[in-house]
Chain A
Amino acid sequence: MKIIVCMKQVPVQDSLLKITDDSRWVQEAELNYEINESDHYALETALLLKEEHGGEVVILTMGPRRVKEAIKQGLAKGADRALHINNESFTTLDIFINAKLLAAAIQQEEADLVLTGLQTDDYGFGQTGVILAEKLGLPHASIVMEILKQDGSIKVKREMESGWFQSVELPLPALLTIQSGISQIRYATIKGIMMAKKKEIKELSLSDLGLAEGDVDDSTSSLKFHKLYVPEKTKQAELLEGDPKDVAAQLVHKLKNEAKVF
């Protein structure tokens, strides 16, 4: 089974984010990056499937040069090779364009299964995986928690709200978006890290993908992104200050006499 895992690098959770002067993005200079959380689980899912059924795990990522670090981490964990679309010169928020680029790379591979994370921790649109499936003409299931491979098809358990689940069967090839927290993510071992050096990372340019500059032009999109800003606080908690004992006493007093919850 050939599995393509789409992974994205995002700023480390809990990063202190500063918006750029033009309000278009966050200042990247001091940021550290990590693999998007649910993409970690997508990779782990792929590696487990490979261990059980054999085949190949290919990482697909898009981003500037720094994403090599994420790729190497994935290779160190056991992915076989990687595709890297370096989009430094055509970064866009347009999901259709991004899906087009990813689809073009995937179409060259003829995979049985394409996995993505549920959503990214940066923009968090939560759309790329599903749009990608439609672009590729593949059936999909999102927010997937378990996968059972059968002959020519897969059975998956997908999450719905409030503790409900749906069990569905999809023919292969298919695309799944993977929920976070569904497995114990493996650690890159020293052996894996040293072996990763020998694995192929294929750089894909626009022309490698059979695309031209016009294909990545987002100026005609009807959705316009304007600016980023720190949200205005609609409500701010009354902060209690003092040493722990003080604070505790204040809190209990307020709960009793102001909030009257006791």
Chain B
Amino acid sequence: MSVDILVVAEQRDGVLNRSTLEAVVAGQELGKQLGKEVALVALGKGISSLAEELTSKGVKEVLTVDDDKLSDYTPDGYAGALQQVIAAENPAYVLFSHTYTVRDYAPKLAMKLERPLVSDCVRYKMDGNALVFVRQVFQGKIDADFTFEGDGPHLVSFQVGAFNADNLETSGAAGAVRNLSLSMDNVEIRTKVLDVFEGVKQEVDLSKADRIVSVGRGVKKSENIEMMKDLAAALGAEMGASRPVCDDGWLPLDRQVGSSGQTVAPKLYFAVGISGAIQHIVGMKNSGTIVAINKDPHAPIFDIADYGIVADLFEVIPEVISALKES
């Protein structure tokens, strides 16, 4: 028995990373196009209940590798195990969600298999019979098309948020769990995991905020943050920020929105002086109403905003504040 489309599940302490489901959605859609079935593979130690949970995620099979060497995530362990799984199952496609963990081991796996990985794809499309994978280059400004030639396994990782986990099809029969017993003896784990911990204690839970005013590099210097705080006050909003603003210490780290900060979905999101780098967008694109204020009319933020103002934010924001106060 073998699988067609293999999706690699990501878990920590037996808890599934939600972006895995996005990759399953990608697998399901791809499977429909190609007439292929989807299987999940989960790695870890003592993950039987996770495996059980996964059977209901609209996949034909759930493969598990349960081994002491996989109790903590290490690139050696994951790449070593997956190399064997892929060799044994010979799937046409191996799909990942492009998480920080996948970034850490998937290229290594690719090298071991000598199969290229097309990483961080935002979508796929059919061009005739050819399956085209689209990924962004130049920080999201340009798209690039890639295809695979020849037989698989072909390795693809999808950007977090590229597929919507809500579209998961779970109507079919539950998948079967299949435990794989691999020989992990030859897999040498060179990195020793000492600790996994939450960095800054998140003082602010932005994910619960109704309104957020987020600021980016466009505010230029720290003293301009005050004006943005006034805007937030006028809106009754929490302050958020893009990474550079937090790196520079203009706002504390727990205000950071995006892939390395918090993921938010408020009713109203003001993006002020934020160009819309993908790392930021993934953290806020599910917001209800998005307002973008930026000087650069080509800023990608305008592609996801509902209302855009192309202007000098230092001219506009004071007017917005007073208009808000008046109303």
Contact = CB atoms under 8 A, between A and B. Distances in A.
Chains A and B belong together in one complex: yes
B324 interface: yes
B288 A261 contact: yes
B116 A221 contact: yes
Contacts of A129: 107
Contacts of A225: 144-146
A252 B270 CA distance: 12
B320 to A, nearest CB: 4
B291 A251 contact: yes
Contacts of B196: 160, 164-167
Contact of B114 (A96, A169, A180, A261): A96
Contact of A228 (B116, B142, B194, B247): B142
A125 interface: yes
Nearest to B74: A168
Given A135-B111, A237-B306, A143 B324 contact: no
B101 A160 contact: yes
A230 B142 contact: yes
Interface in B48-70: none
B166 interface: no
A161 B320 contact: no
Contact of B104 (A99, A130, A224, A235): A130
B268 A261 contact: yes
A68 to B, nearest CB: 23
B115 interface: yes
Contacts of B311: 244, 247
B140 to A, nearest CB: 8
Size band of the A side of the interface?
35 or more
Interface stretch (A1-9, A49-57, A73-81, A116-124): A116-124
Contact of B327 (A126, A142, A224, A256): A256
Contact of B108 (A121, A134, A227, A261): A134
Contact of A124 (B139, B191, B315): B139
B145 A227 contact: yes
A249 interface: yes
Contact of B116 (A11, A95, A135, A167): A95
Contact of B303 (A180, A229, A233, A249): A233
Nearest to A11: B138
A248 B319 contact: yes
A22 B261 CA distance: 39
A238 interface: yes
A17 B298 CA distance: 11
Contacts of A128: 107
Given A163-B199, A167-B195, A181 B243 contact: yes
Interface string A130-174: 110111000111110000000000010011111111111111000
A234 B99 contact: no
Nearest to B17: A161
A164 B198 contact: yes
B126 interface: no
A261 B145 contact: no
Given A165-B197, A170-B191, A259 B322 contact: no
A74 to B, nearest CB: 21
A222 interface: yes
A224 B111 contact: no
B116 A223 contact: yes
Contacts of B318: 244
Interface in A101-130: 121-130
B323 interface: yes
Which of A155, A256, A261 is most buried by chain B, counting CB atoms within 10 A of its CB? A261
B178 interface: no
Given A140-B108, A229-B142, A122 B260 contact: no
Contacts of A160: 100-101, 196
Nearest to A238: B307
Nearest to A262: B327
Nearest to B200: A163
Contacts of A135: 111
21 contacts: A122-B137, A122-B138, A125-B120, A128-B107, A131-B111, A134-B112, A161-B260, A163-B254, A165-B198, A166-B73, A166-B197, A231-B143, A233-B303, A238-B306, A238-B307, A239-B302, A240-B308, A247-B316, A254-B307, A255-B291, A261-B267
Interface of A: 11, 13-14, 17, 19, 26, 94-96, 99, 121-131, 133-135, 139-143, 155, 158-171, 180-181, 221-231, 233-240, 244-245, 247-249, 251-252, 254-256, 259, 261-262
What are the 8 closest A-B residue pairs judged by CB atoms, nearest first?
A237-B308, A181-B247, A248-B319, A127-B107, A237-B305, A139-B190, A223-B116, A130-B107
Given A99-B111, A226-B147, A249-B319, 19 more contacts: A121-B139, A124-B138, A127-B106, A127-B110, A131-B107, A134-B107, A158-B104, A162-B262, A164-B198, A181-B243, A181-B247, A221-B116, A222-B148, A229-B145, A236-B303, A248-B319, A251-B291, A261-B267, A262-B327
